[in-house]
Amino acid sequence: MDSGLTDSPKQLKDYMKFHHINGVMLVNDKKDRSRPIVVTNKETSNKSQIVKTDQLFPIASLQKIMTSTAIYQLQKQKQLDWNTPLSKYFPQVPGSKSITIRELMNHTSGLINNARPSKPLKNQQEQIAYMLKYIKYDHIHTWDYQDIDYELLAAIISRLRNTTYNNYVQNNFAEPLRLRKIKDFPEVFQSEVPQPVVNNANWHKVTVTTSSDFGAGNLFMSPNDYWKFVYDRILKDPKMINKYAHQAQHQEVAYFGGVYFKGNVIRADGSIPGYNCCFVANYKTKRMIMLFSNNINYFTLKIAADHILHDYMGVGLF
C-alpha cells in the first residue's frame, strides 16, 4: 500500500479537517523513515488548546509498550521469563501462583482493578498500595484489557532493578534516546499540556487518571519523543517485536506487550478524559503514522485508527 504514501500528508490533513479532529498526525515517507512529517489541524483559535509535536501530551496506554520493553530487557538479562509466576514478586495478590508474566503481558491474568482514587496519588509507593488494595481475581484466564496487568509489570521492574519505575524509564530510554520531553504526572504543570477542547474533561480528572495508571498511563511525552521511542527502540529491534508477534499469534486476541498484531502491522491506542492518541506501524517496512488529539472521544479515535489501517497500511480491521 506504499503507492499512496507520497500523498498521505495531504490526505491525512483532509481527513482531520473533514472529521474536525484538533491535533497532530506524524507520518513518515520513503526517503527518511526515521523523521516524521507533521500534519496539523486546528479546530480552535484558543492557543492553549493547540496540540504541538514538541509539547507534553498524556500518552495513556501507549505507555504499555514502554513497560513491556523494560520487561523484555529483564528477560534478556535472565532476571525473569514469560513463565515466571507473579507470586515470586507479589504473593499477596489473589491467584498469583497461577498468573505468569506472559499473562500479564497479554491481558489474560484474570485480574481486575477499575478503581479510581478521589485525588491524585502522590508517588510510586501510593500507586502500588492503591493498586494492591483494590485488586480482584476472577479466576478466568481469558482476554480482558485491564491496566492492572501493566501496573504490576511496572512494580516488578522497580523491584528487580531496585529503583523506581520512572527512574528506570529515564535511565534506560530517555537518556540513551535523548528524549527531552518526558515526565511523570507529578512533574507536569497544567500549562505544559494542551488543554482539552471537550467540556467533560478537566485537570483533576487527568491527574487522577494518570496517577492511578502506574506503568500503564502515568507518563506525559511530546509526540516527537514518542515517535523517536517507537521508531528507535521498537521498530529497530526486530528480535523483540518478532518474539512478541510469536506470542500474540497464539492468543484469543492477537495482543502482546502493549500492542495489537495483524500480519506485519502493530497498533496501540491511548485514551484518558480529554485526550486520545494512537499509532499504527508496519514493523517490517518501518512505515508509521501517529495521531494525538484533544477534542475527540475514544470511538472517533478507533474510527481514525481503522481508517489509517485500511487506507495507509492496506490491512483489514483488527
Ordered by start, the domain boundaries in the chain are 9-63+181-313, 65-165
- Tell me the H-state helices in the chain: 8-18, 64-76, 101-105, 124-133, 148-161, 165-169, 175-177, 203-211, 223-229, 238-248, 298-308
244 in Cβ contact with 259 (< 8 Å): yes
Kindly list the averaged pLDDT for each block of 10 residues, start to end, along the chain of length 318.
56 94 92 88 97 98 98 97 98 97 98 96 96 95 96 98 98 98 96 93 94 97 98 96 94 96 95 96 94 96 89 72
The pLDDT score that the predictor gives to residue 3 is 41
Q: Which fold does the domain 9-63+181-313 belong to in CATH? A: Beta-lactamase (3.40.710)
The pLDDT score that the predictor gives to residue 308 is 87
Produce one character per residue of 301-317: b if its CB has 16 or more CB atoms within 10 Å, e if not: bbebbebbbeebbebee
CA distance 88 to 259: 26
CA distance 80 to 303: 38
80 in Cβ contact with 100 (< 8 Å): no
CATH, domain 65-165, list 1.20.58, 1.10.287, 1.20.1250, 3.60.21: 1.20.58
Q: What is the 3-state secondary structure (H, E, C) of 140-157?
A: CCCCCCCCHHHHHHHHHH
What is the residue whose three cell numbers read 514469560? 82
The pLDDT score that the predictor gives to residue 2 is 42
20 in Cβ contact with 11 (< 8 Å): no
Chain Cα centroid distance, residue 202: 21
The pLDDT score that the predictor gives to residue 198 is 85
Q: Say whether 65-165 and 9-63+181-313 share the same fold.
A: no
CA distance 294 to 203: 13
Beginning with the edge strand found earlier in the chain, give each strand of the sheet holding 182-184 in spatial order.
57-58, 219-221, 182-184
Predicted TM-score (pTM) of the model is 0.95
